[in-house]
Structure 1
Amino acid sequence: MTSDIDLHVGKRLRRRRRLLGLTQQTLAEQVGIRFQQIQKYECGANRVSAARLFELSEALSVPVQYFYEGLSARDAYLGEDPANIASDVLSKKETMDLVRAYYSMGEAPRKHLLDLAKSLEAATKPALRLVVQ
């Protein structure tokens, strides 16, 4: 029987794999298992052993602690917070594609794209109005 921790570890595994642009098959081959096992880890259906977590951390170039980031008794006590919402956004394929495309550009185009995104963000926010009494 899996727990919320298993789900959290699976989400972190999927996020990192996608960020690196790896398929489940490629990652599975790197650690010597079948891709179906990666699927089960990512959806939380199977618990990841300590030895396997170490192998996955090596294959994904992250410390083992990465899989537990954002998971603490304090987080559970506070309930859903913006960091958890942000992590959902980061786990989407569209976000990973955008990040990969952004970092494949040179520095100057990245700066222009960031400036454009900031200006679009500012344009969508309602203007602050001073109320004079």
Structure 2
Amino acid sequence: MKVLKMAARKKSANSIDAHIGRRIRNQRLWQGMTQGDLGDAIGVTFQQVQKYEKGSNRVGASRLDQIAKALSVEPWFFFDEIDAQKGPEPHSENEILDFLASIDGISLNRSFVLIKNSDIRQKVVDLVELLAEKEHPGLICANLRARRPESVCDS
């Protein structure tokens, strides 16, 4: 009788795993937790949390439930913005989500929402767009004019 060797199949993370990992990281940072804090709450090491957040290790259903409880969200939260047919959002939107989940992104957003005066908020947006235009000439203003004809690019 012949013994068939089955090739060990490595389960690799896919774009949905990466999306869920980004959502875990975003919510963890929003809650002000470290990877160690989350790991302690769910019974794993901070290194394992890193792997979940990078999408290099898949998160099982029961573990995702534990993570959701530790981060005070429902498990479906991690699947938001995933189209069942297409998968997660395109790469450029991933970059935006990655920034929003970073320390700078969270700090910027937390501070920005505290500004209640709409004129001041608009001036902050104008300033950031002008600074971005200096680093990417033509790109920012072209997109901005399409959205707001009275943009700061024309001043």
Does TM, normalized by the shorter one, top 0.5? yes
Q: Count the aligned residue pairs.
A: 121
Flag structure 1 segments of 5+ consecutive residues without an equivalent.
Answer: 129-133
* Partner secondary structure for residue 116 of structure 2: helix
Q: CA deviation at 1:127?
A: 3.7
Asked which structure has the greater CA Rg, the reply is 2
Counterpart CA distance in 1 for 2:21 and 2:109 is: 21
Q: What is the Cα-based RMSD across aligned positions, in Å?
A: 2.7
Aligned to 1:111: 116
Q: Is the 8 A contact 2:15 2:87 kept in 1?
A: no
Counterpart CA distance in 2 for 1:70 and 1:30 is: 26
Q: CA deviation at 1:116?
A: 1.6
* Partner secondary structure for residue 81 of structure 2: coil
Q: Deviations over 1:73-127 (max 9, x none)?
A: 35449x7287545423312220112234456x6xxxx314x53231243574334
Q: TM-score, normalised by structure 2?
A: 0.65
Distance 1:41 1:122, change over 3 A: closer
Does 1:14 find its partner at 2:25? yes
User: Within 5 A, what are the aligned runs for 1:1-133?
Assistant: 1-76=12-87, 80=90, 84-101=94-111, 110-112=115-117, 115-122=119-126, 124=130, 125-127=152-154
Paired letter, 1:91: A
Q: Quick one: percent identity of the two aligned structures?
A: 32
Counterpart CA distance in 2 for 1:86 and 1:49 is: 26
Counterpart CA distance in 2 for 1:46 and 1:90 is: 22
